[in-house]
A and B are shown apart, each in its own frame.
Chain A
Amino acid sequence: MFFTIRWKSMIYKITKFGWLLLLIFIIVRQHINAQTLNDVEKRYETLKSNFVKEKLILDSLNQSLEERAELINEEKGKSKPDQDKIYKLMAGSVTISKSVEYQQKIISKLEKTLEEIKQKLDYQYTLLIDSLKTLKQTAPKVSDVRDIDYQIISYIEKRLLVTPRIKQLSFIPEKILEIDLNKTRDTLQKNIYAEYLTVALNEVNNLLNQVNETNSEITQIITLHAKASKFLDEVEFETRIKPVGTASTMSAPTEASILYFDEKGSEFRSQLQSYVSLNNQLNFRQSSYISTTGEKFFKFSDDHVSLKDYQELLKELKKRLSDYRTILSDKLSVR
C-alpha cells in the first residue's frame, strides 16, 4: 500500500516537472532555430571569404612551384647545368610542395564546412518558405499577401544562392537572379533580358516535365512492388506460414527496392546520369547525398540505384526547378 502511494506520488512529480521540461524544450528549440539563421548566414559569408583567401594562397603557391619547375628544367637544359643551383631549387620546391599539401588540406576542410553550412541554410530557408506559404493562406489583407510573397521570393533567391549551379542549364542561375527588368531603362536591353528570361523559363519548364514523367514512372514501379508485396503477404498470412527461406531482413525483396541497369546502358541509367549531372548543384556527390536533415538518402553506383533514393532525388530536383520557375515567372511578370 505504502509502495503504491509512493509510486503514484513519483509519477505525479515526474509528469508535473517532465511536462514542463518538455514544453520548455520545444519552445527553446524553436527559438534557437529561429535565432541561428543570421548567425549561420554570417558564418557562411565569413567562411566564403576565408575560402577565397586560402584559394588565392594556394594559387600563388602553385604558381611559384611551377616557376621553380620551369627554372629547374631550364637549368637542366643547359649544356653545363649548375648542379648546386638545381639542388637548391629542388630543395625549395619540396618545401613549397609541402605548403601546397597543407594548403589543400585547409581548403578541403573549408569546402566541407561550407557544404555543411549551405545545407543548413538550405534547410532553414526551406522551413521559412514553407511557413510563409502557410501564413499566406490565412493572411487577411491583400497587402499582407504581397508582403509575404515578397519575403517568399527573397528566401527562394537566397536558397538558390546556396545551391550550386545547374551545369546542364544553358543559362547562369546567378545572372538570372541579378536581372531586374524594373531597373532596366534601355528598351533594347530590357527586351534582350526578357527574351533571356523567357528562354530560361521554357528550359526549366521542359526539364520539369521530364522530371515529372520519370518521377511518375518510378512512383508506379514502387507502388506496384509495394502493392504486390502486400497482396502476397495478405494471402500467405491468410493461409499458412510464409514459405521458409523467403523471409528477409531487407524491407523488401532485392528486386523490389533496387533498380538495376543492364551492361549496355539502360534508359534509366542514361536518365539517371543526366539527372545526376543536373543535380551536381544539389550537393549530390559522387556516391551519396547527405540531406539537410542529416540523413543519407541518395546512393547509387554504376549499375544500380535504390528506387526510394531515386524518387528522393527527383523530388529534390523538382523542388529546385520549381524554385527557378517561380523566380523566372516573377521577374517576367513585371515586364
Chain B
Amino acid sequence: MKNNYSKVNFTIFLTLVFYQLSFCQVAWRTTVETGYVNSSADGLTTQEDVQIKLDGQLRYDYKRNKQNASFHIRVRPEMFGFKDQLRSMRLKALGSYSYDFDNFVGGINITSQRHIFSGKYIEINYESFLLLGDASFEIFNNTPANTSLGYAYQSLSAEEQALDLIFFDTKLSRIINSYLQFGYGVYGEKFVVRGLTRMNHIFQKDKNSGWRFGPKANVSYVRNFIFNFEYRFLLHGSQLTAFPSYENWLRVVTGKIFGERWSVFLLADYYTRKFKTTNLALIENNLLYTPMNLENRIYAKLGYEINGSAEIFVKSGYFNESLYKNNVSFKGWNGTIGIEVRNE
C-alpha cells in the first residue's frame, strides 16, 4: 500500500516538476498513415500490397539568449502487406547546439539513424551517422553565407558494405529581393567504400577510395507560394573510375496554401550519373559508390488543417532508385491517406 502510494506520488511529483521546468519546450507529433504500395526490386519486396505506417516524434528545444539547442527523436514502424510479413522500423535521433556570436552563428549537429527492414526472406540493416559543424555569416553586404564541415558514416548489413566520408559544403546567397534569392557554392567530399569483393568465387575484404567535388546552385522564392530549385554537378574520381565521371542532381520543391486550411506540396528529385570505370571485376562487387540517398522521385501531398493541432492528408509518390549495383533499381509508387496530431 505504502509502495503504491509512493509510486503515485513519485509520478505526480515528476509530472509537476516537468510541468514547471520544461513543459513549454517539449513538442511532439504523431502520424498514422495507410494506403497502397506497388514496388519492385528484383525480389526484394512484394509487388502490390497495403501499407500501414505510424510515425512518432518528440522534440525538446532549449533557447536562451544566444544559445539554441535541440534534441529530437523519431520512430517510424511500417508494415507492408500481410502475406509476406514485411516490416520496417526507422529510428532517428538528432541533437544540435548553436550559438549566435555577434558576427556569425556557429553550431554542431549529431544525427544517428537506423533502418531495419525484415521479412520472410530478407533482413536488411541500414545505419548512418552524421557529425556536422556549420556556420552562418555575412561576407559582403546582402550576401549571406553558409558553410559546413562534417563526417558521415553509413553501412548496409545485407551486402556488408560501409561508406565513410568527410565533406565540406559552402554556399553564398544573393538577395534579389525579400522574396527571391539566388544561391551558389561548392560541395567537396573524400570517401572510402569498404566491402566484400569476390574474386574467383572467394570473398575478401576490399575498399575503394575517392572524392567528389563540384558546383551547386539554387533559386528560392516565397510569397504567395513557395518554389525552390537546387542543382548540383559533381565530378567523381576514385580507384575504380576514370575521367570523366560525373553526377547530376536536381531538386524542385513547390507548394501553396489555399484559404486558411488547404495546402499542396510537390517534390521532384532527378539524379543521373555517368561513371567511366577502370576495373569491371570490382564494380560488379559493389565498391563503386553508394549514393543511397539519391534517387529519382516525385511526391505530392494535399493537406487539410482540421484545427491548429491536427491535419488530414493524402500523399502519393513515384520513386526509382538506382542501387549500388548499376543494373539494379528499386522502383514503384504509393498512395496513402493519413492524419497527423501534434503539440508544437
Contact = CB atoms under 8 A, between A and B. Distances in A.
| Interface majority SS (helix, strand, loop, mixed), chain A | helix
A251 B295 contact: no
Interface string A224-268: 110110011011111111111111111100110011111100111
Interface in B303-329: 303, 315, 317, 319, 321
B257 A227 contact: yes
A310 to B, nearest CB: 11
Given A11-B10, A12-B6, A235 B267 contact: yes
Contacts of A245: 148, 150, 167, 169, 187, 189
A49 interface: no
A56 B162 CA distance: 76
A296 B66 CA distance: 9
Interface stretch (B79-87, B216-224, B276-284): B216-224
A120 B321 CA distance: 58
A246 B63 CA distance: 22
A240 B226 contact: no
B142 A16 contact: no
A248 B148 contact: yes
Nearest to B181: A255
B16 A221 contact: no
B44 interface: no
B97 interface: yes
Contacts of B187: 245
A8 interface: yes
Given A228-B265, A254-B146, A259 B141 contact: no
Contact of A244 (B134, B167, B257, B263): B167
B6 A220 contact: no
Contacts of A273: none
Interface in B162-213: 165, 167, 169, 173, 175-178, 181, 183, 187, 189
A15 B132 contact: no
Nearest to A290: B65
B23 interface: no
Contact of B293 (A224, A228, A244, A255): A244
A305 B292 CA distance: 37
Interface residues of A, number: 54
Contacts of B10: 11, 14-15
A261 B96 contact: no
Interface string A282-309: 0000000000000110000001100000
Interface in A66-96: none
| Interface majority SS (helix, strand, loop, mixed), chain B | strand
B299 A235 contact: yes
B245 interface: no
Contact of B113 (A11, A241, A246, A248): A241
B178 A266 contact: yes
B297 A249 contact: no
B182 to A, nearest CB: 11
Nearest to A246: B169
Given A227-B263, A227-B265, A245-B169, A22 B16 contact: yes
Nearest to A226: B344
Interface string B133-168: 110101001101010101010100000000001010
Given A221-B222, A245-B150, A228 B96 contact: no
Contacts of B256: 224
B6 A8 contact: yes
Interface string A83-124: 000000000000000000000000000000000000000000
A238 B299 CA distance: 11
Nearest to B221: A255
A73 B97 CA distance: 61
Q: Which one of A11, A223, A234, A304 has the greatest number of beta carbons of chain B within 10 Å?
A: A234
Contact of B144 (A11, A16, A258): A258
Interface string B1-42: 011011001101100110010000000000000000000000
Interface in A17-35: 18-19, 22, 26
Contacts of A231: 253, 255, 265, 267, 299, 301
B109 A247 contact: yes
B319 A250 contact: no
Given A12-B6, A249-B134, 16 more contacts: A12-B2, A14-B10, A15-B13, A19-B12, A224-B257, A250-B98, A250-B134, A255-B181, A260-B175, A261-B142, A261-B177, A262-B142, A267-B178, A269-B178, A295-B65, A304-B144
Interface of A: 8, 11-12, 14-16, 18-19, 22, 26, 217, 220-221, 223-225, 227-228, 231-232, 234-251, 254-255, 258-263, 266-269, 295-296, 303-304
7 contacts: A15-B6, A227-B255, A228-B226, A244-B130, A247-B132, A249-B96, A255-B183
